[in-house]
Chain A
């Protein structure tokens, strides 16, 4: 499903070059639920941005669904992002002046679906997250948990094969976080591949597989979780 081989990503200013990812290699199989942990600044978000085709790596090879990403144009990468990838962000990233219906409509518009098909998908995804009755509400009229469910509905509406979640529970209380996590597990059971970046070891443990990124590289997984558990205790 996702295969990264010796991926490098560096950011350069006039005087400093920062290596966000160094010889980063990872393979994620279809249907997996993978959690990604690591200290702040370790490269988690950079990995997620590259995986989600929002940024291009400085070097290395990235295959998504069997397709090499390196040579793709912005247009092709955008289409692939629209059709195959769903995003969930810590800050929800809903468009504030669009109601829930219109927010979920955004990726479907770029997909080119007709009105009827868009409506069907929007209503279905709102139903899946239990917010059908709030379709005409603005994001600001919802709680944080509800907003994150809308973001999930937006990600699901395009029926992506690959869901990227960047600390999806980071802005939620524990009850809301548990609900969102249960929703993600439910989605994964349908067959959607999920990669979730999180700081929470409990949530990380609920994934089928956990990887830790340290200094832009994948480190030993079991050891990292054990260390975090000790630290938490």
Chain B
């Protein structure tokens, strides 16, 4: 009977094209508006590291000013988001974590000898080698640099797939040389397409920007005097006795992001003990004058702590659903008008053997058909809305302002749910109508 009801529904929609178009438009506009906002919120709240949520931790140490807690505009847990270079360097010596990563954002001017490619600046991540295995970065060619490169200056580089295509036409470029800031670097490997959004591993900078094009070893800091291209925060002046770049490395400025992988609770406990001991040791040396405090935060909690999905976005999400509700209320009125106009037909069907449930289901399916059509058009509206947002954001949030198949299915589901809600009362009304009234007067 479902097929029969669907054919009746389509016939009914064709029979009242203007009224049907209005109802479909009401659902489509509501679904389009709400799905635009919900898609943005959904994409913003994605956790690319969800599968490792129980083993990965962002590390925080409260090395901040004894006269006032770290304040990031009222957000977070009153601890610096990043570590000082010296603390990161010290923690890297621990063998408790299965993997550990110290890193930050940077930029290099890239040139290629004997090439028509003009010099350009490439987004760079300066990192320890565990970055690739910790964050499941897929390799396309070659491999990662050796462990030595994390602590000593080895001029090696890993390129991303797009940059490798730009520089080497997509060939296996392992062993070839590129110049970064005029210095030769040997290509150790090329990663495959990898672009988690939001970038859980670095939420300091735009969490929705593309992942970096170049990855170089952490051990190159002193040789190239690498500073952060991300946020650097400090609360006191560097030691005047240590000048220049070394002074920066030994300062209390925080600019290194630090992650550890701890396989189980025992390891985590051991690492907590290590951090406690380290802070106590540093206190004895006159540092860490605030109460002993550190943070080990899972990726999912890190996203919340960093407020990747702002409260404003949540409010907007609710507002869009309220707008959909307004559209549903309009659809209820239109459906009621349409169904009551068809009451004589329902009366005839009742006389011919249809029970109330059959009439109810028939009309509810007609509502669902309106929902499916409204949902499909709503998806087009949402795609238009998202492309408008992409245009307005000048490419800053391209990744999140796009709809995946799951959200498209959700749009259809939302549209059907909305139309079912809209159709419930009119369908119930028509199924409860006394058929004999219409049989005589038709």
A interface list, Cβ under 8 A from B: 45, 49, 52, 54-55, 74-75, 77-79, 81-83, 87, 89-91, 93-95, 97-98, 106-107, 109-111, 154, 158, 166
Contacts and interface: CB of A to CB of B under 8 A. Distances in A.
B350 A45 contact: no
B439 interface: yes
Given A54-B351, A109-B4, A97 B440 contact: no
Contacts of A107: 352-353
A110 B351 contact: no
Contact of B354 (A45, A78, A97): A78
Interface size class of B (residues with CB under 8 A): 20 to 34
Contacts, number: 73
Interface stretch (B66-74, B110-118, B135-143, B355-363): B355-363
B331 to A, nearest CB: 22
B109 interface: no
Contact of A52 (B4, B12, B351, B442): B351
Given A78-B358, A82-B354, A91-B440, 8 more contacts: A54-B350, A79-B353, A81-B351, A87-B351, A87-B352, A93-B439, A106-B352, A110-B352
A89 B442 contact: yes
B352 A54 contact: no
Contacts of B352: 81-82, 87, 106-107, 110, 154
B345 A95 contact: yes
A54 B357 contact: no
Contact of B353 (A82, A93, A95): A82
B348 A95 contact: yes
A97 B348 CA distance: 13
Nearest to A90: B440
B346 to A, nearest CB: 10
B353 A111 contact: yes
Given A97-B11, A109-B1, A109-B4, A45 B351 contact: no
Interface of B is mostly: helix
Contacts of B344: 93
A110 B358 contact: yes
Given A49-B436, A106-B349, A79 B355 contact: yes
B205 interface: no
Contact of A75 (B4, B348, B355, B436): B355
B442 A91 contact: yes
Nearest to B354: A110
A176 to B, nearest CB: 19
A83 B441 CA distance: 25
B429 to A, nearest CB: 16
Contacts of B12: 97
A176 B356 CA distance: 35
Given A75-B355, A78-B353, A107-B353, A166 B345 contact: no
B19 to A, nearest CB: 14
B436 A78 contact: no
B295 interface: no
18 contacts: A45-B440, A52-B351, A78-B354, A78-B356, A81-B351, A81-B352, A82-B354, A87-B351, A87-B352, A89-B439, A91-B441, A93-B442, A97-B11, A98-B11, A109-B4, A110-B352, A110-B353, A110-B354
Nearest to B352: A107
A106 B352 CA distance: 7
A79 B435 CA distance: 15
Interface string B321-353: 000000000000000000000001101111111
Contacts of B355: 74-75, 77-79
Contacts of A87: 351-352, 439
Nearest to B11: A97
Contacts of B434: 54-55
B435 A54 contact: yes
Interface string B1-18: 100100000011001000
A66 B347 CA distance: 26
B348 A93 contact: yes
A139 to B, nearest CB: 12
Nearest to A46: B436
A78 B350 contact: yes
Contacts of A79: 353, 355
A93 B351 contact: yes
Contacts of B11: 97-98
A83 B354 CA distance: 11
A98 B348 CA distance: 13
Interface in B350-394: 350-358
A75 B435 CA distance: 15
Among A45, A90, A107, A154, find the residue whose CB has the most chain B CB atoms closer than 10 A: A107
Contacts of A78: 350, 353-356, 358
